Amino acid sequence: MKQNYLGLNASSLPLSIYLCFLIFLTGCGSCNPPIPPNPPVISDLTPGPISNRLVARIYFDASVSMQGFVVPNSTQYKNILRPLESVITSGWKSGKTEFFSFGENVQKINRDKYLSVSSEDFYVEWRTYIQKIFEYEQQLVRDRIGISNTSQDSLDVDTPSNDTNDSTEENHMVVIVTDLFQDRRDVNLLVSQLKEKYIKNGLEVGLLGLRSEFDGKVYNLGTAPILYRSTPGNPETFRPFYLLVIGKHADIAHYFDRLMANGFSDANTVIFSRYLVSPLVSFADVEDSNIDPDNLNIKIINSDYSQDTRLKQYEIVRSSDPAKISAKLKYVPLPHVMFFDADPFEVSIIAKCSDENETKIRKAQECMEVTSKLKKNDNGNDELNVNFSLDSQSLSDNTVYLYEVALLPGIDSYRTPDWCSGWDMGTARDGSRTLNLVNFVSGLTETTAREHNTEIAQFYFYIKKR
């Protein structure tokens, strides 16, 4: 009997081991390593380099309202006519220019005619339609690629790439020289056309303003023209004129920089663009010491989730109190860009987990709080302080979450530059001011901001909950 008993126990041993192992696996799900979500594709949102090959098409407003800029012997307007071309040929590896006049229609002009732009006889048009330039530009594109007038608008513009700078690729920039004197209806139409034909197709719009000596008549007021003469030597009485520039952000900024460096440092500028900072603020410059030293609930881990330095990886050690991450980051605004109030930035939070459970994701997003403040550091440089607080008790155990956090100016935080407000005519008939300038600039600013929803910072990090 004893031998039979021992034999029965021996024969049932493999089954017992299997059952114990099965119980161990089912009862210890937390022992399985959590599967992280796929790492994000992180792009470099920068304006990129200037074009290698650039053709600048320069359009001169030939209306009689512009005549007063060339009547005095020497004016800022006359002085900039040559640099409009020379900074293109000297500032780009392969840069060339073409010249046009516009009024009721657009005409290409030769070099001799271009040299006569400083003469009164050039300005004979009684009406100017900037939209005619857009129609002309569209026809140039159609002619070049051989399509009919019925082709869709998306083929009507040249859209440069910011990802490559192929030396064989020729990019274009449109420069419109005008006093921007338009009624409210014209302003709304101009903003709408710039949006539909250029901004939505990946191009930027820039505006450079200068004040110049003036002696002449200002038309397009709907009533009798204004007779206006500036006071010699008093820039506050000079009349503004503008360069409305359409093209690639890097080319526009380089054009403005070169003009200002060639004797026009008093110019005022703004570029209506998706790019506000460079580089985009991220975790790339953050060191491990940026974790709150008094916070023992989170630690940095090194895993193979991602090797991108802009993506950090953390583990929740305990969830009794919120886990906190703080970072002090460089903030480098681009020159010429749109004006906005920095505080507070709007926050966009996207959370992901490998099983794509909607409840988990919603809770993960709700338990993350982000605050930021832009200030000057001890060296006088701009610094962005960002604090992340995670109430991790709401997170599921044995899970890895991926957070994508973006900071961006709110639509209502954008502001018209002070110089635009100072140069706007308002309700007064003042020849030293521009009609509807604020409406034009604010309209373009809002249109650009809504179209691109521009971000100034992007943060990516994995959070592992034990």
Answer yes or no: are the C-beta atoms of 323 and 395 closer than 8 Å: no
- Full-model pTM: 0.86
pLDDT truncated to tens, each residue of the chain (466 aa)? 444 433 444 455 444 444 444 444 444 544 577 888 888 888 778 899 999 999 999 999 999 999 999 987 899 999 999 999 999 999 999 999 999 999 989 999 998 899 899 999 999 988 888 999 999 999 988 887 775 454 444 444 565 554 455 556 789 999 999 999 876 778 899 999 999 999 999 999 999 999 999 999 988 666 678 899 999 999 999 999 999 999 999 999 999 999 999 999 999 999 999 999 988 898 887 755 455 555 657 787 777 677 787 888 888 887 778 888 888 888 999 999 999 987 789 999 999 998 888 998 999 999 999 999 998 888 888 889 999 999 988 888 888 999 999 999 999 999 999 999 999 988 888 889 998 999 999 999 999 999 998 899 999 999 988 7
Token pair of 211 as six digits: 């004040």
**CA-based max dimension of the chain:** 129
Task: Please report which residue ranges of 28-75 form alpha helices under DSSP H.
Answer: none
What does residue 257 show for φ and ψ, rounded to 5 degrees? -60, -45
Q: List CB contacts of 204: < 8 A, sequence separation 6 or more.
A: 198, 246, 247, 248, 249, 252, 271, 272, 273, 274, 275
Q: Which helix (H) or strand (E) holds 373?
A: strand 368-376
Q: How far apart are CA 234 and CA 238, in angstroms?
A: 7
Q: How far apart are CA 395 and CA 399, in angstroms?
A: 8
Q: List CB contacts of 228: < 8 A, sequence separation 6 or more.
A: 68, 214, 215, 216, 217, 218, 239, 431, 432
**Pick from 346, 382, 372: which is nearest to 454 by CA?**
346
Which amino acid, residue 463? Answer: I
DSSP summary character for residue 103: S
Instruction: Strands of 251-290 (E only): list them.
Output: 268-272
